[in-house]
Chains A and B, each alone.
Chain A
């Protein structure tokens, strides 16, 4: 019961936060000297009447505060509005979200399934050659900027011809059998997944290793060992449970990154996800689309933190009693 009350309280707390976020974002975008109709205005064959009509359609002739009010009212009603070219924002997002989720979920699953065990192993075998090799590898992984790595991988694909140059499906995708389609998507996903996996694996492995080392150094582990418990019980029953708490907070952030975390890599690989869509929207000051994505990002972050907190309540009795 307390937990539910806590959750409701947290959700209510986010409302003013979201209002502030939307207000600030809206004003920053609208006050920037970027003209959403620039392309239209610079086309000599477009008549002044058309430009005028578009200005009215996008509400650009009204004061910013009125524009914000209109946007906020329809947002609360669940209407995300239309893009500057007249398409529905919700349809645009719905086209891209599944693709981005496909990529990020695969990456998150892979990194956690590989990164956490590797972190534990490195901590247990502290200062052995295995630990040192892993440290070097993860240092490299953390040092390479994702877009640079992605470009390298693209060059690799061009030179060898082993992988397609970005995208998600081949041009004859519609005519393929189910197996063919599955392979085609997998084939396109390998390089972007590899890039994102390498980068996020490094951070996760190091985090897990550090947590584990902290815990292994604590008094109760020493006590457990002194008690004569087997190494397996000490590590997996006592140490791991305590070392995993900070990781849960991290998982909350991973959740927030589900939709936006891969933007750079998506752009380089021409992946049909949200990254490309939002980047173009920002450059063109396509207000409804940018606002929708910003709000989505904010909500995901809040939701991620909330989920992490709930998980913590479940795993950590100390927090439970306070809540």
Chain B
């Protein structure tokens, strides 16, 4: 068992509540021949509603296999469980629809033992047929979003899935492939509902179980099922009476009758709705936390600090030295020289005042970040040391590369070109805009001229992944704290998000830098190793390379702070799972 380390040293003690008592993990139990999951948390009271929210325009689909955006994935995730899930505290794979699993010694066969006697919300049994159908026909068949399938190709081959009896399924992978175990958390579909849709073809499947489907047509395995969807207003889920988890008094969970997600347009509206008591739970950003904390004592909510966010915020420099199809350089040759100069990148890094940003932008609710893996990642390389802003070091590095400043403090390169470039971020994200202003100031201390240009999100992404005409950018990415392999799109030299040195598909791996080659190697090896300890070595090395080469300069990770009404009990906050990972165990207490 590995514990997730959360070091709280640089945060304001006043503005946080420590993680409370540890979460009692549910256990398997067999009652009258049915393999239930039994909650070990205190027994609660049935009934009531929890009102949460989602920002944006609401879900685009309720089909877990079509969900391409976060909101749709959350909504379908509420309804459809997978075989396994991640332990909210340790990140270990834990059984959900499966009661147990085993991996063969050669790492090529995954045997899944299903729960016997559990049912879909319409009363039909959940069996190996559903699992085999989901994997072979839907996922490997290329229905819906094929990202999961595409990530499982190993040397051009897909894993296979076979059933042995009604309750045993064996997955075979052509080669040991560590990230596979995490993909077993993919939702399982009820065969009797999905089969007709699959038979009608891929085009029909895209609109299957969409937002216009009648709620009664959903057959689910999760704790809740859809009751009502009102466009641009809310999604209402009601309890699934056939859910397979029971409490210690052998009563069927979930406790709550309803789970409601209000669809709110923006953060401000979300805060207003929480204050007007229309919402029960809210995630708070930097400046709001102090105010909510001061109000906490005479209010009906409690704040929870879940530790660092899984997101990473960074500054990236464009290392591209290639030409576009018209023979024009993506980045001006003068600038190419600066950005490809390690001393220049390091000088930029040393000039950034991360602590100041945490203090002023995140109101102290965050931590400086130096690694590409987020602070709560079980793979984070803890040997990479943090350091403070050091302008002298920056100036020394710049001098080494022949940069000089004139009497007015303006910086020139050794050929006499004024160091001036554009810094982009997406407009409307106030946090990134604030970081941009501070980065600009920090770099101007070195005599650089930085033109800070916040532009619209979709235009920015177009620059980053299509036209490559940018110098420096402030962006954020979310990654899995459990599985670094997802980052291969960013770090491998031909990755689709290899922003700092993006290559077109035609270019392949041309102009690969020595350390980019090393990164490729680490990601290839890391995915094929199976033991955590072995994988850790490769992923530590990749973080070290990034730390030393600075293609991306990491800034800080915000801390996740949630507020939830006191009346909700059985709250076991976790850095990995959030506040409502055990939604089926949460109940409304009388006090």
A and B part of one assembly = yes
Residues of B contacting A50 with CB < 8 Å?
68, 145-147, 150
Complex Cα gap A167–B261 (Å): 13
Question: What residues of chain A lie closer than 8 Å to B57, measured between beta carbons?
Answer: 276-277, 280
Closest residue to B262 on the A side, CB-wise?
A171
B19 at interface by CB-CB < 8 Å? no
- Check B486 against A46 for contact (C-beta < 8 Å): no
- Number of interface residues, chain A, beta carbon within 8 A: 52
Instruction: Write out the residue numbers on chain A whose beta carbons fall within 8 Å of the beta carbon of B232.
Output: 95-96, 270, 272-273, 276-277
Evaluate contact between B461 and A42: CB separation under 8 angstroms: yes
Contact A35 B260 (CB under 8 A): no
The segment from A7-15, A138-146, A156-164, A312-320 found at the interface with B is A156-164
Question: Quick one: which of B212, B236, B463 contacts A171, CB cutoff 8 A?
Answer: B236
Q: Is A166 an interface residue (CB 8 A)?
A: yes
* C-alpha spacing A90/B489, complex, angstroms: 36
Is A41 touching B272 in the complex (CB atoms < 8 A)?
no
Report yes or no: A46 in contact with B147, Cβ–Cβ below 8 A. Answer: yes
Using a CB-CB cutoff of 8 Å, which residues 100-146 of chain A contact chain B?
none
A169 within 8 A of B: yes
Q: Give the distance in Å from the alpha carbon of A19 to the alpha carbon of B487 in the complex.
A: 46
> Which of B248-256, B452-460, B512-520, B569-577 faces chain A?
B452-460
Given the interface pairs A42-B477, A53-B146, the reply to whether A164 lies near B278 with Cβ below 8 Å is yes
List B residues 501-546 near A (Cβ within 8 Å): 505
Is the beta-carbon distance between A34 and B230 smaller than 8 angstroms? no
Q: Which A residues, 75 to 106, have Cβ-Cβ distances below 8 Å to chain B?
A: 85-88, 91-92, 95-96
Q: What's the Cα separation between A166 and B150 when bound, in Å?
A: 42
Tell me whether B147 and A47 are in contact (CB under 8 A).
yes
**Inter-chain contact B466/A35, CB cutoff 8 Å:** yes
With contact pairs A46-B68, A95-B231 given, residues A34 and B262 touching in the complex (Cβ less than 8 Å): no
Known A-B contacts A51-B496, A171-B49, A272-B232; the reply to A33 vs B265 at CB < 8 A is no
Q: Is the CB of A47 within 8 A of B146?
A: yes
Cβ of A42 and Cβ of B497 under 8 Å apart?
A: yes
> Is the pair B151, A45 in contact by a Cβ cutoff of 8 Å?
yes
Residues of B within 8 A of A280 (CB): 56-57
Contact partner, B497, options A41, A49, A167, Cβ 8 Å: A41
- Interface centre among A38, A49, A168, A267, by most chain B C-beta atoms within 10 angstroms, is A38
- B278–A87 touching, CB < 8 Å: no
Cα distance, A280 to B505, chains bound together (Å): 31
Q: Is B269 an interface residue (CB 8 A)?
A: yes
Report whether over half of chain B's contact residues are helix, strand or loop; otherwise say mixed.
Answer: mixed
In the complex the two chains form, is A270's CB within 8 Å of B458's CB?
no
Within 8 A of B (CB), among A202-236: none
| Any B CB within 8 A of the CB of A180 | no
Total A-B Cβ pairs within 8 A = 147
Stretch among B94-102, B203-211, B328-336, B557-565 lining the A interface? B203-211
Least CB separation from A267: chain B residue:
B265
- What distance in Å separates the Cβ of A78 from its nearest Cβ neighbour in chain B? 19
Q: Are B272 and A165 in contact, with the CB atoms below 8 A?
A: yes
Shortest A195–chain B CB gap in Å is 16
A87 vs B212: C-alpha distance in the bound complex, in angstroms? Answer: 9
Which B residues are in CB contact (< 8 Å) with A2?
none
The answer to the question of A285 belonging to the interface, with a C-beta cut-off of 8 Å to chain B, is yes
List the B residue with the shortest CB-CB distance to A269: B269
Residue contact B211 to A87, C-beta cutoff 8 Å: yes
Q: Is B273 an interface residue (CB 8 A)?
A: yes
Q: Is B228 an interface residue (CB 8 A)?
A: yes
B580 proximal to A (CB < 8 A) = no
8 Å CB contact of A168 from B233, B265, B505: B233
Considering the complex, give the chain A residue whose CB is closest to the CB of B497.
A44
Interface residues of A in 15-47 (CB under 8 A from B): 32-36, 38-47
Contacts of A39 in B (CB 8 A): 69, 458, 461
Please give the distance in Å from B464's CB to the nearest CB on chain A: 8
In the complex formed, the residue of A with least CB distance to B264 is: A270
Q: What is the chain B residue whose CB lies nearest that of A160? A: B276
Select which of A41, A42, A87 is within 8 A of B210 by beta carbon. A87
Q: Whole-angstrom distance from the CB of B274 to the nearest CB of chain A?
A: 9
Interface residue? B60 (CB, 8 A): yes
Chain B positions within 8 Å of A45 at CB level: 147, 151, 486, 489
Q: Is A154 an interface residue (CB 8 A)?
A: yes
Q: Shortest beta-carbon distance, A194 to chain B, in Å?
A: 17
Set of chain B residues within 8 Å of A272, measured between Cβ atoms:
230-233
B41 within 8 A of partner (CB) = no
List chain A residues, Cβ under 8 A from B146: 47, 49-50, 53
Query: What is the distance, in angstroms, from A153's C-beta to the closest C-beta of chain B?
Result: 11
Smallest CB-CB separation from B460: which chain A residue? A38
Query: Within 8 Å of chain B (Cβ to Cβ): is A323?
Result: no
Q: Which 3 A-B pairs have the closest CB atoms?
A: A38-B461, A47-B150, A272-B232
Known A44-B477, A86-B210, A272-B233; 15 more pairs at CB < 8 Å = A38-B460, A39-B458, A42-B461, A44-B479, A45-B151, A85-B61, A85-B69, A86-B66, A161-B276, A164-B278, A171-B236, A171-B260, A272-B232, A276-B57, A280-B56
Q: Which B residues fall within an 8 A CB radius of A?
A: 49, 51, 56-57, 60-61, 66, 68-69, 145-147, 150-151, 206-207, 210-212, 227-228, 230-234, 236, 260, 262, 264-265, 269, 272-273, 275-278, 456-467, 477-479, 486-487, 489-490, 496-497, 505
